[in-house]
A and B are shown apart, each in its own frame.
Chain A
Amino acid sequence: MSKVKTGIGRRSFIKSVSLAGGGLVIGFNWMACKRAAEAEAEGTAVLEMPDEWFELNGYLKVGDNGVVTIFSPNPEIGQNVKTSMPMIVAEELDVDWNNVVVEQAPLNTDVFTRQLAGGSQSIRQGWETLRMAGATARQMLVMAAANQMEVPAEELTVENGVISHKNSDQSLGFGEVAGAASKLEVPTEVELKNNADFRIIGTSRKNVDAKKIVTGQPLYGLDTYKDGMLIAMIVQPPAFGMELKSMDADKVKEMPGIVDVFTIDTYPEDMEKEWSDVAAFSKLAVVVGESTWQVLKAKKALNVEWDLNPELTKEIEILEKSAGMKDATGLENTDIHYSLMADVGSKKAEVVRKDGEPEKAFENAARVIERSYTCPFLAHNTMEPMNFFADVSGGKAELVGPIQTPEYAEKSIQKRLGMELEDIDVQMTRMGGGFGRRLYGHFLVEAAVISEKMGKPIKLVYTREDDMTNGVYRPAYHVTYRAALDGNNNLTAFHVNAGGIPESPLFANRFPAGALDNYLAESWTLDSNISVGAFRAPRSNFIAGAEQSFLDELAEEMGKDPIEFRLEMLDRAKNDPVGEENDYDPARYAGVLEMVRDKSGWTSNSSTGARGVSAYYCHNSYVAQILDMSIENNEPVIDKVVCAVDCGIVVNPDAATNMVEGGTIDGIGHALYSEMSFKEGVPQMSNFDKYQLIRHKQAPKAIEVHFVENGIDPTGLGEPPFPPVQGALANALYKATGQRFYKQPFINQLKNTSSDLKT
């Protein structure tokens, strides 16, 4: 065991939990009787609820019958933190998981430190606090038992919620001492378990919401129905660069079930925005009515005129060219985006990192290999469209729905409505997907503004078309790689020049930086009026695949095995690193490559199809993948993907495997099939008939997931499996077709050349 001060971390844990108030708690109003976690998932016995609950800290309370409620602090978007975060608390508490009830915690920034779903950070940043929450409560329970048994606390052992004193043959359940424990001071120092003593962490536990999911119980924001609630929908400009000019609502107001039609300005110019307040369209037409279908019909019938938004359509000069706005309309086009990116990407840009003398090495090179890669904008397309319930009345705001950034959302409402934080209640529902889209809570602000105007509770519902065409999209990116080879085919310099609309995907200090004497990284951006934001593994979600494709081609040019080539460079980065800013651990990087090589039988080449490899580090975790595929009837068939993952300690192995499987499929799907394009500012895909998402038939036939066991504190998994598989796919496609793939989505190139394919 290791002793830790409970005051460490970004905030004093003691201070936090003290603010939650200890002592007797008789049910929160938002707490309903729930089944225990495991019983829930298995559909077996239902736990009996206690008569009294005793709160030991903000993370948990213990019932007089030993049942424990653990509050999962972070938003659940499908990354399964609602199960894995409480598992960590339960581990240190030493409670029987079958006696645990999991509840979504309320938004409470006094108690919880980072109630946000993003950056694959929930487990990594919650690890210490969650353990302390369990350990301090355990210690308080042990102290209370020691007092009652009149024995020294050090002589007590705890197992599955039972505290025992072997010498005197006494034992007490958590429920029997919870009341006394809740009156004790929170300890200033607690002991945390050694990894070897984990009984819950590292064992597979079922999703605590699974039973509700498979029986269709209300869980999601869109499932919110409250008395007197009206349905609201927005009508937004048809194109980026346009804004609302006028509206003729008279006829629509007469339609059945329609209560009101008006316009709103979500973000007035003088409002100070949070970073999460990204929105392309501030002025919106709004239809409010009694039922979704009635509002939908009225929305379609509404006559709105749009105009060019002068703020968004001014000429933006970039390198003597106007960025997508040549005609001064500001209505952007995908084909112009691509030609601009290729043009700007071929020029010198801002130098972000330079090691050695790359220019000289390129001048002296016997051969220079140069390749460019590009990708389109992507829509997040969470299966649950954007929506939020809002009831703003009597100086208070109640907001219920799917949001990855509830803390920021609360501040946005504070600023927009001029309310005090304590009068704003943001409640987190389970989310039908996030992928970064729900970091940006404009829909929540819109809902609040609409409710305030109506003076009634409303649920704002985006149609799929609203959702897809009012995106906070993954930007379009472009990268050019250059490699200098000497007469002996040695790599002497490496150059990456990356940019995008409107952000660059470059990570200058990631591999292969640090492995090469001469290295140059340049970055550029082009402006745009299309709203963009984080999309699962931001920036990595493109540049990983591009980089790993280039390294594959480079290895081939150098006559090397692609894994050996990477391992050689990682060896250099490990033993004699260049520069001091390298932000990866070469040994762990090499570890996943070696593991995937061994698990897939790479060396013996047991694959019957075409095979590609890739490895990447992002969001603190390392993932390597080997993908086997073939082309059948001119369609790509992914036979198998083998994944090796190093995310440190794996809290919930089966769920983690699920996450890696999903990330792998998602990565393949987006690289192969998905794109959002624009014509005169109009998003060209507005629903799933035009926007291709990967489907059952296209998914890999098998995915194998292996985790590195190293006992290192855990890092996240939501994002890391997504980027590298795109490189493995591109490299396997090359083996299958004889062609390199430089432009996503790959299916376009595959279709254009399918008759030439090797099968």
Chain B
Amino acid sequence: MAEFSLEINGKSHTVEVDPDTPLLWVLRDHLKLVGTKYGCGIAQCGACTVHYNGSAVRSCQLPVSSVAESEITTIEGLSENGDHPVQKAWLEIDVPQCGYCQAGQIMSAAALLERNPNPSDTDIETAMNGNICRCGTYTRIKAAIKTAARSQTA
């Protein structure tokens, strides 16, 4: 066990955990930030996607010891009132079915738009290919990303 200070959603947190504990479980078990989901544990499904210094990463494969002092953003901190353009687009298109993967999808989409404000269909498919949606909301996710892109550039 060791103590780690983390910068999550603009707030400082201190946790005492094993150094190899993945960020995912620190978020969920220790900080009760449960918006970041467990899906596979091997970075294959994207349900656990968070932003790490602005990039989309899989928190299930990120030991807490490697992220201390970095800036982490989770779905809970993507916006203060749930009004990030991607979140708004998700509501407008009414994307979710079961909804379990959607936080990860949104975090991947937000990171995509951050580096590419006007992505093509292929850009979207490539950037989002690591996020599985078992309900099959892919066409709506693509539509929502385009809606968010339009709203950001408008």
Contact = CB atoms under 8 A, between A and B. Distances in A.
A207 interface: yes
Contacts of B133: 383
A304 B132 CA distance: 33
Given A43-B81, A432-B99, A661-B139, A688 B45 contact: yes
Contacts of A294: 18
A214 B106 contact: yes
Of the listed residues B30, B44, B98, the one surrounded by the most CB atoms of chain A closer than 10 A to its CB is B98
B82 A665 contact: no
Of the listed residues A207, A219, A293, A654, the one surrounded by the most CB atoms of chain B closer than 10 A to its CB is A293
A214 B102 CA distance: 7
Interface stretch (A23-31, A55-63, A77-85, A364-372): A77-85
A41 B136 contact: no
Nearest to A78: B98
Given A256-B1, A664-B136, A383 B100 contact: yes
A695 B98 contact: no
Contacts of A293: 17-18, 20-22, 25, 29
B103 interface: yes
B42 A383 contact: no
A565 interface: no
Interface string A288-302: 000111100100000
B124 A696 contact: yes
B103 A214 contact: yes
A222 B99 CA distance: 13
Given A293-B21, A381-B134, A222 B94 contact: no
Given A41-B91, A696-B128, A77 B141 contact: no
A211 interface: yes
Contacts of B30: 291
Interface string B32-49: 111111111110110100
B38 A385 contact: yes
A686 to B, nearest CB: 10
A223 interface: yes
B117 interface: no
A701 B42 contact: no
Of the listed residues B90, B96, B140, the one surrounded by the most CB atoms of chain A closer than 10 A to its CB is B96
Nearest to A218: B34
Of the listed residues B37, B40, B75, B134, the one surrounded by the most CB atoms of chain A closer than 10 A to its CB is B134
Nearest to A662: B136
Given A43-B83, A385-B38, A661-B139, A206 B91 contact: yes
Interface in B99-154: 99-103, 106, 121, 124-126, 128-142
Given A666-B135, A666-B136, A696 B98 contact: no
Given A43-B88, A689-B44, A699 B29 contact: no
Contacts of B13: none
A430 B100 CA distance: 9
A488 interface: no
Contacts of B142: 696
B136 A222 contact: no
A214 B35 CA distance: 9
Interface in A12-55: 41-43
A464 to B, nearest CB: 4
Given A206-B91, A216-B35, A432-B100, A702 B44 contact: no
A604 interface: no
Interface residues of B, number: 65
A654 B81 CA distance: 25
B76 interface: yes
Contacts of A213: 96, 99, 102-103
Contact of B90 (A214, A655, A659, A664): A214
A480 B142 CA distance: 40
B131 A661 contact: no
A108 interface: no
Contacts of B95: 210, 658
A220 B34 CA distance: 9
A111 to B, nearest CB: 26
Given A215-B82, A225-B34, A385-B38, A659 B94 contact: no
A700 B74 CA distance: 30
A383 B35 CA distance: 14
B128 A211 contact: no
Of the listed residues A78, A663, A696, the one surrounded by the most CB atoms of chain B closer than 10 A to its CB is A696
B41 A699 contact: no
Contacts of B25: 291-293
A292 B76 CA distance: 21
A433 B98 contact: yes
A496 to B, nearest CB: 29
A216 B139 contact: no
Contact of B87 (A77, A215, A695): A215
A220 B98 CA distance: 10
A433 B94 contact: no
Contact of A432 (B36, B37, B140): B37
Contacts of B136: 661-666, 669, 694, 699
A703 B97 CA distance: 16
Of the listed residues B17, B47, B136, B137, the one surrounded by the most CB atoms of chain A closer than 10 A to its CB is B136
A697 B137 contact: no
Contacts of B45: 383, 688
A608 B25 CA distance: 49
Of the listed residues A222, A431, A433, the one surrounded by the most CB atoms of chain B closer than 10 A to its CB is A433
Contacts of B103: 213-214, 216
A220 B100 contact: yes
Contacts of B91: 41-43, 206, 210-211, 214
Nearest to B60: A464
A79 B97 CA distance: 6
Interface string A433-463: 1110000000000000000000000000101
Of the listed residues A211, A383, A661, the one surrounded by the most CB atoms of chain B closer than 10 A to its CB is A383
A538 B83 CA distance: 40
A384 interface: yes
Nearest to A721: B136
A79 B99 CA distance: 11
Of the listed residues A42, A216, A382, the one surrounded by the most CB atoms of chain B closer than 10 A to its CB is A216
Contact of B139 (A223, A666, A687, A699): A699
Nearest to B138: A699
Contacts of B100: 220, 382-384, 432-433
Contacts of A194: none
Nearest to A654: B94
Interface string A193-221: 00000000000101101110111111110
Given A206-B91, A210-B90, A293-B29, A658 B44 contact: no
Given A464-B41, A694-B136, 7 more contacts: A207-B99, A384-B98, A658-B140, A687-B44, A688-B44, A688-B132, A696-B141
What are the 8 tightest A-B residue pairs by CB atom distance, in nearest-first order? A216-B35, A432-B100, A78-B98, A665-B136, A216-B75, A699-B138, A213-B99, A688-B44
Interface of B: 1, 17-18, 20-22, 25, 28-30, 32-42, 44-45, 47, 74-76, 78, 81-83, 87-88, 90-91, 94-103, 106, 121, 124-126, 128-142
19 contacts: A77-B98, A78-B99, A204-B94, A214-B102, A214-B106, A215-B76, A220-B100, A222-B34, A225-B29, A291-B17, A293-B22, A293-B29, A383-B47, A385-B38, A430-B99, A433-B98, A695-B129, A695-B132, A697-B126
